[in-house]
Amino acid sequence: MLLNIRIQLLCAALAALCQACLHERHFQASGLAKRQETPLSPLSPEEQILVDSVSNVSISEWSYYYTHGYHVAGKNMSMAEWTADRWRESGWNASVVSYNVYLNYPVNKSLSLTYSNGSTFQPLLEEAVLDADETTSYPNRVPTFHGYSASGSAEAEFVYVGRGQQEDFARLKELGVSIEGKIAISRYGGPFRGLKVKNAQENGMIGAILFTDTADDGNITEANGYAAYPDGPARNPTAVQRGSVQYLSIHPGDPTTPGYPSRKDSPRADTQAVTPRIPSIPISYIDAIPILAALDGYGVDGGTVNRTRWVGALNVSYSTGPAPGTTISMSNLMEDVYTDIWNSIGIINGTNPDETIIIGNHRDAWIVGGAADPNSGTAIIVELSRAFGKLLAQGWRPRRNIVLCSWDAEEYGLVGSTEWVEEYVPWLTDTAVSYLNIDIGAAGAWPYFDATPELHEISTDVMKKVPWMDTNRTMYDAWFEYTGGGIGVLGSGSDYTSFIHNGIGAIDIGAGGGSDDPVYHYHSNYDSYHWMTNFGDPKFLAHKYMAKYLTLLAYNLATAESLPLNVSNWATQMEGYYSDLVDTINSTSDTLDISPLRSALDEFTSRTREIEALEQQAAASKDAALTTLVNHKKRDFQRGFVSQGGLPNREFYKNLIFAPGMDTGYAPTTFPGITESFLAGNISVAAEYVKKTTDAILVAANIIKT
Ligand SMILES: *[C@@H]1O[C@H](CO)[C@@H](O)[C@H](O)[C@H]1NC(C)=O
Ligand SMILES: *[C@@H]1O[C@H](CO)[C@@H](O)[C@H](O)[C@H]1NC(C)=O
Ligand SMILES: *[C@@H]1O[C@H](CO)[C@@H](O)[C@H](O)[C@H]1NC(C)=O
Ligand SMILES: *[C@@H]1O[C@H](CO)[C@@H](O)[C@H](O)[C@H]1NC(C)=O
Ligand SMILES: *[C@@H]1O[C@H](CO)[C@@H](O)[C@H](O)[C@H]1NC(C)=O
Ligand SMILES: *[C@@H]1O[C@H](CO)[C@@H](O)[C@H](O)[C@H]1NC(C)=O
Ligand SMILES: *[C@@H]1O[C@H](CO)[C@@H](O)[C@H](O)[C@H]1NC(C)=O
Ligand SMILES: *[C@@H]1O[C@H](CO)[C@@H](O)[C@H](O)[C@H]1NC(C)=O
Ligand SMILES: *[C@@H]1O[C@H](CO)[C@@H](O)[C@H](O)[C@H]1NC(C)=O
Ligand SMILES: *[C@@H]1O[C@H](CO)[C@@H](O)[C@H](O)[C@H]1NC(C)=O
Ligand SMILES: *[C@@H]1O[C@H](CO)[C@@H](O)[C@H](O)[C@H]1NC(C)=O
Ligand SMILES: *[C@@H]1O[C@H](CO)[C@@H](O)[C@H](O)[C@H]1NC(C)=O
Ligand SMILES: [Zn+2]
């Protein structure tokens, strides 16, 4: 996963985590009531065959395979073939599809701190090799680096910029801190890392250093008395978060082929629009302490800066600096290449060729391990393929096509999925019903999901069919305890993005830890099989129950005669986005006429009543043609929400109802064309997007009209 999900929740009770998780997910209250204990829903005979097939023993074997070989994007074709082979063994048709894309790989880097008195500090820049964790010592272990980072060097005084959002830079300017020509040191968390580097660059800074702060580790820290990995559940002090510095909120995919699939002979665009020009290097907290400490007493201290999560948990004052005469010298050398990447694609043809359910997970990892990100999800989808194989062996066929995807190069910027969607968008537009994504399938034992509104109901219903972690408690109850019944709006950060922005509904599921669970070493060498079997999911039970869940969800979507998608919930959810927009407008002195949007929502709501009535009529009359008509409306209506031309200055992002925030990259903004233009003071552009969004909702309403 590109994204640092709610891996470490900062609230303990978890019931009210909405604002509290690390990257500030935008939960829309689902309005679901929680009963004391939810009874398990019964299974059909076919569902029983599927869930009985799922075993934590085979999942542990798949996990072992994926976590003991180098599989950075574009480096392991045999792993793609192995994956397709497992699917074929279970009766799926499968092939490996390649694209030729721009990537870059690390060659060399250096970083040193020179105090004004001339003495120096030399950071480690690499993660410690641990005897207990064999893959940390592999000779081909992956160095710490940023994907798509710029080659270059910089030497200058440096400034702490908090989490590196535009507002952090605005605050520094307001305080009179000199930032131009300096190097930025920024904390991870909040916005997507590429946007931190982008903001530094746009503010005239010449290099960026990103560090992990233990304030993001919940209660499980060495300071609270926990031993560090591998001896205990706290963060290993040398752990470094690798990751892409692409400008995710502008567009994902191959930076050189925006809007079209990457072939060897494809025309290539300049990468400047979506990748930085200044070098950046990620470091551990143990390396960050002396660098931050060198700023203590210089510039403005962290408390006075008074910005969200500016002050972390390290023993420093989080002063801005710069410290006169104290400098950093850094260099970063990357090798730029055009290289093949490989998606594995499996298919079970349905009896009805014009409806398709797609299931996807990425396979590439930043490290040899990748036990949670992404290969917990990879092990789960191999197990899912086996479960469907049990039914196929009995001559079973689903009503709808099922397409299973193992993406490459997600980590650099959703590259494998974006290129594939760009290639198959005409067929997807005609037939895709839903896309089901699983990235970090298990980094702990608490399930969560984000989804488009029509999937909320089926997603929670299926959770009531799954017992959780070898107990009689339902997955629904575990999920409810963790999220308070909140279902996130999809922003970006994993492979659902290209689907959403072509008007295809999607869900992103996973399981993670709470603030009192072992710290997940995101994008670090310690996201390994050893960590997983000792801390993350020791018996592969979260893997096992997530596999049962995803299999049942896919089965229900692929086989139900009447598609179990609730269109009315779009009306409900959009009312929430609308009242957020009203609040946004009312919180400023600017005005904006959104009455056309109000009317469009009313129109959409009344059309949802029509389709519900038609659905009941189809069910009562058992009229197959009518059922197909309703199903096709449910399949198609979201295509209306996408607009040619996309959002202002980012044509890729076409969905006018939600998109990743321009300055967040992960977290969503609702009615983004309107909201972001309005907040930026571009009232005429906001008005233009009131019209476009209104039109989009009316197109969707027209599709469900009966
Ligand atoms: C964990 O931290 C939360 C606040 O962050 C606190 O309320 C809770 O008591 C802590 N739990 C433990 C076991 O320390
Ligand atoms: C690809 O991954 C497999 C399985 O982890 C591993 O055995 C193999 O060595 C890797 N290939 C390369 C080229 O590193
Ligand atoms: C890598 O960096 C080291 C130290 O800065 C330098 O001596 C060496 O020449 C560099 N190698 C390459 C290939 O740039
Ligand atoms: C130089 O300054 C640093 C930071 O204040 C200090 O740790 C170090 O001991 C000093 N070195 C000398 C030689 O004075
Ligand atoms: C910090 O900022 C908030 C508003 O963002 C304000 O309410 C608070 O008083 C400020 N605190 C200090 C110490 O300035
Ligand atoms: C924090 O740092 C100061 C010096 O900067 C040192 O005196 C103190 O012992 C440190 N505290 C801890 C808990 O390490
Ligand atoms: C695989 O493809 C073959 C040939 O096109 C077809 O006959 C078969 O039904 C397909 N199998 C599945 C599971 O879709
Ligand atoms: C299976 O579905 C794919 C995609 O619709 C289609 O190209 C292919 O011809 C189908 N195969 C069979 C055997 O129906
Ligand atoms: C689950 O429920 C069944 C039947 O009520 C009971 O026999 C079994 O012991 C329970 N298992 C657990 C783990 O609570
Ligand atoms: C599978 O789960 C069982 C408990 O249901 C556990 O005893 C066993 O150790 C697990 N196997 C693996 C390989 O983790
Ligand atoms: C669809 O969801 C809405 C909540 O948004 C609910 O009121 C309604 O009953 C659901 N429709 C069906 C057919 O389940
Ligand atoms: C927001 O503004 C609208 C019109 O400007 C007004 O009708 C409404 O009462 C305001 N709502 C709130 C919560 O202030
Ligand atoms: Zn991932």
The pLDDT-based confidence of 1 (bands split at 50, 70, 90) is low
Pocket lining: 349 vs ligand 8, CB cutoff 6 Å: yes
User: Residues 362, 521: contact at Cβ < 8 Å?
Assistant: no
Q: Six-digit token pair at 266?
A: 């494809």
Angle between helices 541-559 and 375-392 (to 10 degrees): 50
Instruction: Return the SS3 of 343.
Output: strand
pLDDT score of 6: 35
Residue 568 in contact with ligand 11 by CB distance below 6 A: yes
Average pLDDT over residues 301-323: 97
Residue 567 pLDDT > 80: yes
- Supply the pLDDT for residue 8: 29
Query: Which position among 410, 422, 454, 615 bears the catalytic label?
Result: 410
> Going by CA atoms, what residue is nearest to atom 13 of ligand 4?
119
Is residue 35 over pLDDT 70?
Answer: no
Say what the pLDDT of residue 340 is. Answer: 98
| Ligand 3 pocket, residue 122 CB under 6 Å | no
At 2, is the pLDDT very low, low, confident or very high (cuts 50, 70, 90)? low
- Smallest-distance ligand from the CA of 579: 12
Q: Which of 56-70, 317-331, 652-666 has the weakest average pLDDT? A: 652-666
CATH class of 568-704: mainly alpha
Of 290, 289, 280, which is closest to residue 115 (Cα–Cα)? 290
Number of H helices, E strands in the chain: 20, 18
How many Å lie between the centroid of ligand 5 and the Cα of residue 164? 19
Distance from C-alpha of 217 to C-alpha of 323, rounded to nearest angstrom: 29
Fold of 104-335: Glucose Oxidase; domain 1 (3.50.30)
Q: 510 and 374 in contact (C-beta within 8 Å)? A: no
Name the pLDDT band for 524 (thresholds 50, 70, 90).
very high
Pocket test residue of 578, 579, 582, 584 for ligand 12, highest count of atoms within 8 A of CB: 582
Give the nearest ligand 7 atom to 93 CA. Answer: 1
The Cα 485–Cα 614 span in angstroms is 30
| Residue 277 pLDDT exceeds 50 | yes
Distance 439 CA to ligand 13 centre (A): 5
Distance (Å, whole) CA 653 – CA 15: 32
Please report which confidence band the pLDDT of residue 29 belongs to, taking 50, 70 and 90 as the band edges.
low
Ligand 12 contact, 589 CB (< 6 A) = no
Burial of 559 (0-12, 13-18, 19+ CB in 10 A): buried
Closest ligand relative to 39 C-alpha: 9
**Shortest CA distance to 642 belongs to which of 687, 696, 686, 703?**
696
Average pLDDT over the chain, rounded to whole? 94
Q: Is the minimum distance from the CB of 284 to ligand 10 under 6 angstroms? A: no
Residue 384 tokens, joined: 């899912």
**Atom 1, ligand 8: which residue's CA is nearest?**
349
* Ligand in nearest proximity to the CA of 576: 11
What dihedral do alpha carbons 148, 154, 160, 165 form, nearest 10°?
-40
Residue 45 has pLDDT above 90, yes or no: yes
User: Whose alpha carbon is nearest atom 5 of ligand 8?
Assistant: 353
Q: Compare 239 and 30 and report the one with higher pLDDT.
A: 239
Among protein residues, the one with the nearest Cα to ligand 7's atom 13 is 348
Ligand 3 atom closest to residue 108's alpha carbon, by position in its atom list = 1
Ligand 5 centroid to 22 CA: how many Å? Answer: 21
Average pLDDT (551-560) is 98
**pLDDT above 80: residue 19:** no
CATH topology of domain 5-101+337-559: Aminopeptidase (3.40.630)
End-to-end CA distance of the chain: 40
Q: How confident is the model at residue 20 (pLDDT cuts 50, 70, 90)?
A: very low
**Index of the ligand 7 atom closest to the CA of residue 91:** 13
Q: What is the mean pLDDT of residues 131-138?
A: 98
Q: Which residue has the tokens 């060659």?
A: 107
pTM above 0.85, yes or no: yes
DSSP 73: T
Nearest to 446 by CA among 523, 520, 367: 520
- Positive or negative torsion for Cα 49, 52, 54, 60: negative
Residue 270: per-residue pLDDT:
97
pLDDT in the model for residue 9: 32
The pLDDT-based confidence of 510 (bands split at 50, 70, 90) is very high
The Cα 440–Cα 5 span in angstroms is 9
Q: Locate tokens 């746009």: which residue? A: 202
| Atom 8, ligand 8: residue with shortest CA distance | 349
Of all ligands present, the nearest one to the C-alpha of 222 is 6
Indicate whether residue 16 lines ligand 1 (CB < 6 A): no
The question of whether 410 is a catalytic residue gets the answer yes
Question: Is any ligand 4 atom within 6 A of the Cβ of residue 121?
Answer: no
Position in ligand 1 atom list of the atom nearest CA 11: 5
Question: What mean pLDDT comes out for the span 327-346?
Answer: 98
Of 533, 540, 543, the one to substitute when testing ligand 10's pocket (max ligand atoms within 8 A of C-beta) is 540
**pLDDT tens-digit map of 447-499:** 999 999 999 999 999 999 999 999 989 999 999 999 999 999 999 999 999 99
- What amino acid is encoded at 402 in this protein? I
Whether residue 97 is predicted with pLDDT greater than 90 in this model: the reply is yes
Strand 505-512, strand 446-451: pairing: antiparallel
Is the C-beta atom of 516 inside 6 A of ligand 1?
yes
Per-residue model confidence (pLDDT) at position 16: 28
pLDDT, average across residues 211-232: 97
The predicted pLDDT at position 458 comes to 98
- By three-state DSSP, how is residue 14 classified? coil
Nearest residue (by CA) to ligand 2, atom 2, is 69
Q: Looking up tokens 């994204």, which residue turns up? A: 3
706 closest CA partner among 634, 621, 600, 619: 634
Q: How confident is the model at residue 547 (pLDDT cuts 50, 70, 90)?
A: very high
Residue-level pLDDT at 591:
96
Residue intervals in the chain for CATH 1.20.930.40: 568-704
Q: Is 118 in the pocket of ligand 4 (CB under 6 A)?
A: no
| Mean local confidence (pLDDT), 640-647 | 96
pLDDT for 27 beyond 60? no
Find the 109 Cα to ligand 13 centroid distance in Å. 25
Residue 623 in this model has a pLDDT that exceeds 80:
yes
| Cis peptide bond N-terminal to 237, omega within 30 | no
Q: Atom 11 in ligand 11: which residue has the minimum CA distance? A: 566
pLDDT at 412 over 70: yes
620 CB within 6 A, ligand 10: no
Taking residues 679-690, report their average pLDDT.
97
Rounded to whole angstroms, the Cα distance separating 374 from 432 reads: 24
CB crowding 655-679: b at 16 or more within 10 Å, else e: bbbbbbbbbbbbbbbbbbbbbbbbb
Q: Report the residue count for the chain.
A: 706
Q: Whose CA is nearest to atom 10 of ligand 2?
A: 69
Residue 220 has pLDDT above 80, yes or no: yes
Domain limits, CATH 3.50.30.30, in the chain: 104-335
If you take atom 8 of ligand 3, which residue's CA is the nearest one? Answer: 108
Nearest CA to ligand 7 atom 4: 93
Ligand 7 centroid, distance to 599 Cα (angstroms): 48
pLDDT (0 to 100) of residue 98: 98
Cβ atoms of 546 and 511 closer than 8 Å: yes
Amino acid 666: pLDDT? 86
Candidates 105, 107, 108: which one to mutate for ligand 3, based on the most atoms within 8 Å of Cβ?
108
User: Cα–Cα distance between 92 and 114 in angstroms, integer?
Assistant: 59
Q: Does pLDDT of 606 surpass 50?
A: yes
Q: Which ligand is nearest to the CA of 467?
A: 9
Beta carbon of 401 within 6 Å of any ligand 8 atom:
yes
The string of pLDDT tens digits covering residues 371-411 is 999 999 999 999 999 999 999 999 999 999 999 999 999 99
Domain ranges in the chain with CATH number 3.40.630.10: 5-101+337-559
69 ligand 2 Cβ < 6 A: yes
Give the containing element (helix H, strand E) for 356: strand 352-362
Say what percent of the chain tops pLDDT 90. 93
Tokens of 425: 């968008």
What is the full DSSP assignment across 126-155?
A: SPPP-TT-GGGG-TTPPPS-EETPPPEEEE
Q: Cis omega (within 30 of 0) on the bond before 322?
A: yes
Q: Which residue has the higher pLDDT, 157 or 664?
A: 157
**Residue 37 has what pLDDT?**
87
Measuring from atom 3 of ligand 1, which residue has the nearest CA?
12
- DSSP assignment string, 357-417: EEEEEE---SSS--TTTTHHHHHHHHHHHHHHHHHHTTT---SEEEEEEEESSHHHHSHHH
Model pLDDT, residue 665 = 82
**Is 110's C-beta closer than 6 angstroms to any atom of ligand 3?**
yes
Average pLDDT over residues 207-228: 97
For residue 616 and ligand 2, the question of a CB distance below 6 A is answered with: no
Q: Mind giving me the DSSP string for 558-625?
A: HH-SS----THHHHHHHHHHHHHHHHHHHTSS-----HHHHHHHHHHHHHHHHHHHHHHHHHHHT-HH
Closest-lying ligand 8 atom to the alpha carbon of residue 401: 2
**How much is the average pLDDT of 647-665?**
95
Residue 22 has pLDDT above 50, yes or no: no
